[in-house]
């Protein structure tokens, strides 16, 4: 069975591993990079960083991120006291 392959080929656009991560979060199946790795001071480390970022971006896409909202919406229940009012029960004094 043949599936689709959606790849971002942007030699002039992917300069950082975070770029690859974002592309993968958009739902692409892969990225092709060359210059960002070959011209890096440490190409092996840069290639490893791109591989890690690609995996992280794909995992984020597959996890199903929450939808983008136009306005901020509280996600913490507003029942009872907020947690910061209970800070007095903790001892924050430094010991030497």
Q: How do residues 50-90 score in pLDDT, each as one tens digit?
A: 999 999 999 999 999 888 888 877 776 666 655 665 555 55
Asked whether residue 96 is assigned to any structural domain, the reply reads: no
How many structural domains compose the chain? 1
**What is the extent of the structural domain holding 23?**
7-63
pLDDT at 14: 84
Domain presence at residue 16: yes
The band of 31, judged by pLDDT with boundaries at 50, 70 and 90, is confident
Give the integer Cα–Cα distance in Å for 7 and 57.
Answer: 13
What is the rounded CA–CA span in Å between residue 86 and residue 84?
5
- Domain assignment present for residue 87? The answer is no
Within a domain: 85: no
The structure's pTM equals: 0.65
Instruction: Supply the pLDDT for residue 13.
Output: 75
């Amino acid at each position: 069975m043949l599936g689709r392959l959606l790849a971002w080929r942007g030699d002039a656009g992917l300069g950082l591993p975070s770029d690859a991560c974002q592309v993968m979060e958009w739902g692409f199946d892969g990225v092709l990079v060359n210059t960002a790795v070959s011209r890096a001071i440490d190409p092996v480390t840069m290639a490893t960083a791109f591989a890690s970022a690609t995996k992280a971006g794909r995992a984020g896409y597959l996890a199903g991120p929450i939808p983008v909202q136009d306005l901020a919406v509280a996600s913490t229940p507003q029942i009872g006291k907020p947690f910061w009012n209970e800070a007095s029960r903790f001892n924050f004094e430094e010991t030497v």
